[in-house]
Structure 1
Amino acid sequence: MLMKANSQTLAEQLAAHFADRIRNYLLAGGARLPSVRQCAEQHQVSPSTVVAAYDRLLAQGLVEARKNRGFFVREVASAQDHSARGAIDSRAEAAPLIHPPINAAALMRGMFHGMSSKPHPGVGVFPADWLANSFMPAAVRRIAAGKAEFSLQYGEPAGDLGLRQTLSKKLVGLNIHAAPEHIITTVGATHALDVVSRSLLRAGDYVMVEEPGWAVEFARLDALGMRILPVPRRADGPDLAVMARYCELHKPKLFVSVSVFHNPTGYCLTPGSAHRVLTLANQHDFHIVEDDTYAHLAPEHATRLCVLDGLQRTIYASGFSKILAPGWRIGYLAAPPALVERLLDTKLVATLSTPALLEKALAWCIDQGQLRRHAERVRVRLDQARTRSVKLAVAAGCSFAAEPAGLFGWVETGVDTDALGQRLLDEGHLIAPGALFHAQRRPSTLMRINFATTQEPGFWKVFERVRRGM
C-alpha cells in the first residue's frame, strides 16, 4: 500500500513496487503493465504519479514503452535470437521457432517466491502438511545406521540397484515391463526429461510439445536451442492432424507428452488416440518421451503410450517429488535397451551420480508399502479438496475449460488473467495465468488452479472482489 507519510514520494513507492516484482520474476518479460488510468485507480493516485513511476522504471531499464500500446516488462535475452510466431493453424508450414514467454529459472523463481502465508492457487505442489510423514526420516536413519560405505564413494552409474529392482516391480503394476538394467535414476522427473533431450536431440532439431503445456518444458527446450512445435492438447489426446502436418513438413525428432492428468487441463489419453500417435511415430521415425509425473494420483489402468508401445519408441519418465517431497528430487526413466547407454552417458556427464542414501531409503519405503499407503491417503484428501474447490470456483462465477481431474483445474475466469494475477499479488495470492502455458505469450482468460490450495472460501472471496474491480 502506498503511503503519503512515507519518506519516499508516491511515485518512488509505486516504481519500487513494480521493480520488486520484476526483479523477483513475479512480472514476466513481455508482461504489460496496467494502463496509466487503471494503475491510478487501483493505487488511488493521480495519473501524473503513475507516469512519473513508469518513467523511473524506464530509466532503470526494467520496462519499455511501445507506441500506442503501453508499457511492457523488458524481455530477458534468449540464448538464441528466436523469431516470433503466430497461432498454430494452417500456417504450420512456417517452420516456427518459438521463444517462450519466460525462461525456466525465471518461472521457478516466480512460482516459488515466498511472498505471503496465504494460499497460492498457482503453485504446482501439495501443501507441506499433506506430505508430512514419519516413514521417510525413519528410512533415512535406518539406511544410514547400517554399513554406509556407499556414501564414501560415487554411487552406481544407473542409480542404486535395489531401487531400480523395486521400480521394475512397481512398473509391472502399470503394465510397463522394464528390467532394472533399462531403468536410470535421475534428480527428479524434470532431469529425466532433460537427459532424454540432451541425448537424442541437437540444436535446431524440431520437437513437438503439447499446448497448453508446462512453461518449464517450453523454456527448457528453448534453452537447448530446439525448434518447438506446439500441438494442441484435446480431451482424448494431442491434435493428430497438426502432428501429421508437422511430421510432413519438419520431420520432428521427439514428441513430449503427458498422457495421464495432463498439466494444466487434467486430460487423460484415450486408447484410440494413443494408437494413432504411435502409428505416426513409426511412420515418421520419432521418439516419444512420456512424462508421468502424476502417476501416483492416477488409476493404474489409465492409458499410457509406453504400455501400448512396449518401450520401443517410447521413453517413460516419472518421479516422487510430487507425492513425497519436492526437496528429495528422485526421478527415473525407463528406456528401450538400445538407448540406455546413450542416456546413461548423458546423466553421468551432468551429475556424475545420484544420491544413493535417498535412493536406498526410497526403495525401503516402497518395499514396505509406506509409499503406497501414503499415496492412497493423499488421493482421498485430494478428491475431497477437488469437490470443495470446484463448488467454490463455480459459485465465484468461473467455469471449467476441462473436466476437473487430478491436481489441477483449468479455469475460465472471463478476464485477462495476466492483469488479474497482478491484482491478486497485491492481495498476497499467487496464481498461474493461462499465458504461462503457451509456447508464445498471448492474452488468456484462463488460469490453472491447484485444488489442494483452493478449497477454502477465503481466496475465492478475494478473487470475486478483485475481478469485479477490473
Structure 2
Amino acid sequence: MLTRTPDRTLTDQLAERFAERIRARLLPAGARLPSVRECARQQGVSPHTVVAAYDKLLAQGLVQAQRQRGFFVRDLGQKVPPAQAEQAPAAINTEAAPGTLQGAMGAARAAGSRINATALIRGMFHQPSARPQPGAGVLPMAWLQEARFLSAAVRKVAASGALDQGSFSYGEPMGDAGLREALARRLGGQQIPATAQQIITTMGATQALDIVSRALLKAGDPVLVEEPGWSVEFARLDALGMRVLPVPRGPDGPDLAVMARLCELHSPRLFVSVSVLHNPTGYSLSPASAHRILQLAQQHDFYIAEDDTYGHIAPEHATRLSALDGLARTIYVSGFAKILAPNWRIGYLAAPPHLVERLLDTKLLSTLTTPSLLEKALALCIEQGQLRRHGERIRLALAQARARSVQLALEAGCTFAAEPAGMFGWVDTGVDTDVLAQRMLDEGYLIAPGALFHATRQPCTLMRINFGTTQEPAFWRAFRSSL
C-alpha cells in the first residue's frame, strides 16, 4: 500500500507506480487504467489523489484520456499530441461504473490500439517478483536445469578443437552440417520429408518466422493469422507493414468458412499457423481441417508457415501440414527454447527446395551465420538420445503440473475456454483481464490478458496461464482476492 512520507506525496507515489509499469511495458499500449473510484479503492487513497496522479501521467505523455471513458496507456512510439494535458479534466469520470467489461471493451474499441511489438517483447523479460509467473512463456527454470547434459556437450565439443576452429570464421551460412543432418532425421521420424539441404538454422523460431516473412512478403501484403494467437507474431507482422487478417481458431483448426472468404477477398500471400498445441488455446489441427487448408493454399496460391514450437511436448502422431503436403507449400519452423535452453536461441526452418536460396539470402542479410559451437553441442545431444529423454521427462512433469493447475483454477471459480492441453491453459475468469492484470501486479504476479492474443486489442474475460507456473495455491489465492 502507498504510505505518505515527508518528501513523497501519495499522488507522486501513485503516479510513479503506474509510470514504472508503463515504461517497463507491464501495462502495454491500449491498456485501460482503473476508473478513478476503482483505483482509489484498490490503493487505499482518495479519488482526488487518483485524479492528480492521472493528471501527472497525462502530462508526461504516458496515457491518453477519452472523454467519459477513462485513461488508456499510450503507444510510447507515438508523439504526444499538443495540449494533451489540457484535455485531462474533461476526460475524467469519477462516477462511471468501475470495472464493467462492457465499458472497458467499448473504450478499447474507441482507442483502437494495435499491439506494440517492442512493448510485448520487453514485457516478456520483466519479472515483477521472484514468484512463479502465470503469464510466463517458458517452463520453470528448475525443469530446464535438469538438462545437465547441455554443459557436458559444450565441453566435449570445445575439447574437440571446434571452439578454436569455429571462433575465427563465420561458419556455414546454412548452419552446422551435423545439426542439419540430425534435424533431417528427426523430421523424417515425423513424416516430414526434408533433406539437410532444405534446412536452415536460425537464432530461434522467432527469427525463422521473421526470415520467412521478409523473404516472401513486401509491405502491404495480406497475411492470414489465427486468432487468438501469438501476440508477438501479430506485432511483428504489423511492424513490417503487412495487412494482418485474423481467422478465428477453433478446436479443429481455423474457421474454414472465414478463411475461404478472406482468401477470395484479399488474395493472401502467407498463412501463419500453429498446428500442434496452439498458443494460447492448446488446440491441435484435425486431419480434415489440414486437408482443406492445403486445398485453399493451392487454390489461392499462398504459402503456409507452420510454427511447431511446441512439437517437443506434442502427442506423437499429431497432424502437421508439412507432413501432409511434403513441404510443397509449407515452410516448417521450430526451435528448442521451450524444451531445452531459451538463451541458446537455436531454431530452424525446413523449406521447399526452390525457396531455400531466397530464405538463406535473407538470413545472411540479418545475422550472416549462427553459432556453430552451440549447434554442434545440440547435434551431439540429439544423436546421443539425451534430448529425446529430456523431452519425455518434461512431458511427464507438465502433465502432472497441468492436473494440479486445472484443479486450482476450477476451485478459484474459473472455467476453461479450451480443453487443457500442452503448456498453456486458456482460462475464462469472468472479469476483464486487462483490469485484473493491473491488480495482480500489485501482488507481484504478471498475467497474460486475453487481449494480448488478438490482432486488435479488445479486452475480454480470458487469460493465458502457464501450467508449469500456476500449480501453487498462493497465486490462486491472490487471484481470488483481486476479483
- TM-score range relative to shorter protein: over 0.9
1:203 counterpart = 2:219: yes
Residue of structure 1 equivalent to 2:48: 48
Query: Distance between the aligned counterparts of 1:59 and 1:5, measured in 2?
Result: 23
Kept after mapping to 1: 8 A contact 2:283/2:418: yes
Q: Which amino acid letter does the alignment assign opposite residue 144 of structure 2?
A: L
Query: Distance between the aligned counterparts of 1:173 and 1:447, measured in 2?
Result: 35
* Cα-to-partner distance string for 1:412-467 (whole Å, 9 max, x where unaligned): 00000000010000000110000000000111100000000001111011111111
Kept after mapping to 1: 8 A contact 2:115/2:234: no
Kept after mapping to 2: 8 A contact 1:101/1:436: no
1:354 to 370, 380, 383: 370
Q: Which runs of 4+ in 1 moved over 3 A?
A: 76-79
**Per the alignment, in what secondary structure is the counterpart of residue 306 of structure 2?**
strand
Query: If the length of structure 1 is used for normalisation, what is the TM-score?
Result: 0.94
1:131 counterpart = 2:147: no
Kept after mapping to 1: 8 A contact 2:127/2:446: no
Residue of structure 2 equivalent to 1:345: 361
Residue 103 of structure 1, CA deviation: 2.0
Task: State how 1:28-177 maps to structure 2 within 5 Å.
Answer: 28-77=28-77, 101-132=114-145, 133-148=147-162, 149-177=165-193
Kept after mapping to 1: 8 A contact 2:222/2:268: yes
1:15 counterpart = 2:29: no
Query: What is the total number of aligned residue pairs between the two structures?
Result: 449
Residue of structure 2 equivalent to 1:459: 475
Kept after mapping to 1: 8 A contact 2:62/2:76: no
1:243 counterpart = 2:259: yes
Residue 201 of structure 1, CA deviation: 0.2
Classify 1:209/1:175 alpha carbon distance in 2 versus 1 (closer, same or farther; 3 Å).
Answer: same
Classify 1:241/1:6 alpha carbon distance in 2 versus 1 (closer, same or farther; 3 Å).
Answer: farther
Residue 152 of structure 1, CA deviation: 1.4
Q: Which amino acid letter does the alignment assign opposite residue 62 of structure 2?
A: L
Query: Distance between the aligned counterparts of 2:260 and 2:136, measured in 1?
Result: 34
Kept after mapping to 2: 8 A contact 1:100/1:219: no
* Cα-to-partner distance string for 1:256-312 (whole Å, 9 max, x where unaligned): 000000000000000000000000000010000000000100122100001111100
Query: Distance between the aligned counterparts of 2:127 and 2:29, measured in 1?
Result: 20
2:339 to 323, 334, 352: 323
Q: Which amino acid letter does the alignment assign opposite residue 117 of structure 1?
A: A
Query: Distance between the aligned counterparts of 2:152 and 2:126, measured in 1?
Result: 30
Kept after mapping to 2: 8 A contact 1:189/1:332: yes
Query: If the length of structure 2 is used for normalisation, what is the TM-score?
Result: 0.91
* Cα-to-partner distance string for 1:46-85 (whole Å, 9 max, x where unaligned): 1111111111111111111111111111123479xxxxxx
Residue of structure 1 equivalent to 2:229: 213
Unaligned runs of 5+ in 2: 80-111
Query: Distance between the aligned counterparts of 1:6 and 1:255, measured in 2?
Result: 58
Residue of structure 2 equivalent to 1:84: none
Query: Distance between the aligned counterparts of 1:6 and 1:189, measured in 2?
Result: 51
Residue 31 of structure 1, CA deviation: 1.1
**Per the alignment, in what secondary structure is the counterpart of residue 39 of structure 1?**
helix
**Per the alignment, in what secondary structure is the counterpart of residue 333 of structure 2?**
strand
Residue 6 of structure 1, CA deviation: 5.2
**Per the alignment, in what secondary structure is the counterpart of residue 327 of structure 1?**
helix
* Cα-to-partner distance string for 1:92-135 (whole Å, 9 max, x where unaligned): xxxxxxx8733222112112202201121001100111001221
Residue of structure 2 equivalent to 1:185: 201
* Cα-to-partner distance string for 1:303-323 (whole Å, 9 max, x where unaligned): 000111110000000000110
Kept after mapping to 1: 8 A contact 2:29/2:119: no
Q: Which amino acid letter does the alignment assign opposite residue 14 of structure 1?
A: L
Classify 1:438/1:131 alpha carbon distance in 2 versus 1 (closer, same or farther; 3 Å).
Answer: same
Q: Which amino acid letter does the alignment assign opposite residue 322 of structure 2?
A: C
1:399 to 415, 425, 434: 415
Residue of structure 2 equivalent to 1:257: 273
Unaligned runs of 5+ in 1: 80-98
* Cα-to-partner distance string for 1:347-406 (whole Å, 9 max, x where unaligned): 011000000000000000000001001110010000000000000000000000000000
* Cα-to-partner distance string for 1:128-168 (whole Å, 9 max, x where unaligned): 11001221001011111112312210110100000000000
Query: Distance between the aligned counterparts of 1:441 and 1:115, measured in 2?
Result: 23
Kept after mapping to 2: 8 A contact 1:63/1:73: yes
Query: Distance between the aligned counterparts of 2:78 and 2:384, measured in 1?
Result: 47
Q: Which amino acid letter does the alignment assign opposite residue 60 of structure 1?
A: Q
Kept after mapping to 1: 8 A contact 2:253/2:286: yes
Residue of structure 1 equivalent to 2:98: none
Residue of structure 1 equivalent to 2:240: 224
Q: Which amino acid letter does the alignment assign opposite residue 362 of structure 1?
A: L
* Cα-to-partner distance string for 1:325-357 (whole Å, 9 max, x where unaligned): 110000000000000000000001100000000
Residue of structure 2 equivalent to 1:85: none
Residue of structure 2 equivalent to 1:274: 290
Residue of structure 2 equivalent to 1:88: none
Query: Distance between the aligned counterparts of 2:25 and 2:161, measured in 1?
Result: 45
Q: Which amino acid letter does the alignment assign opposite residue 247 of structure 1?
A: C
Task: State how 1:294-305 maps to structure 2 within 5 Å.
Answer: 294-305=310-321
Residue of structure 1 equivalent to 2:460: 444
Query: Distance between the aligned counterparts of 1:388 and 1:175, measured in 2?
Result: 34
Query: Distance between the aligned counterparts of 1:181 and 1:442, measured in 2?
Result: 43
Kept after mapping to 1: 8 A contact 2:115/2:456: no
Kept after mapping to 2: 8 A contact 1:100/1:222: no
CA RMSD of aligned residues (A): 1.3
Kept after mapping to 2: 8 A contact 1:230/1:439: yes
Kept after mapping to 2: 8 A contact 1:100/1:218: no
Kept after mapping to 2: 8 A contact 1:112/1:123: no
